[in-house]
Amino acid sequence: MWALLFFDEAYANEDLKIVWRITGTSLPFTARAQHEDGEIILPIWGPEFHVSSTWERPGQEWGTGFNFSEPGCWTITVTSGETTGEITLDVLNP
């Protein structure tokens, strides 16, 4: 699993785009984020399947948008079939 962040730093209450490449043998692709206090959010848009791309990594490509409700440590989990990956973001005060 690979994540392409379309931002330099993540700020709370801002729309942020992340593109994923993940190997897997079946659908669905899902994404969710969990704050260190346990709050769970879903993407504000997506996942959107990308038919073509110039970002060359193995697997299918999906786009998502997140808007983190508060600063702190957020873990984003994505799943495609039986393949799961995670990234952790430090989300800052705007």
Q: How far apart are CA 51 and CA 18, in angstroms?
A: 16
Contact 34, 75 (CB under 8 A): yes
Q: What is the 3-state secondary structure (H, E, C) of 25-62?
A: CCCCEEEEEEECCCCEECCCEEEEEECCCCCCCCCEEE
Q: How confident is the model at residue 31 (pLDDT cuts 50, 70, 90)?
A: very high
Report the chain's mean pLDDT, rounded to a whole number.
95
Write down the domain spans for the chain.
2-91
CATH H-level superfamily of 2-91: Immunoglobulins (2.60.40.10)
Given 3-state DSSP classes, what are the helix, strand and coil percentages for the chain, each rounded to the nearest 5? 0, 60, 40
pLDDT at position 82 is 87
Q: How far apart are CA 56 and CA 16, in angstroms?
A: 21
What's the pLDDT tens digit per position in 38-60?
A: 999 999 999 999 999 999 999 99
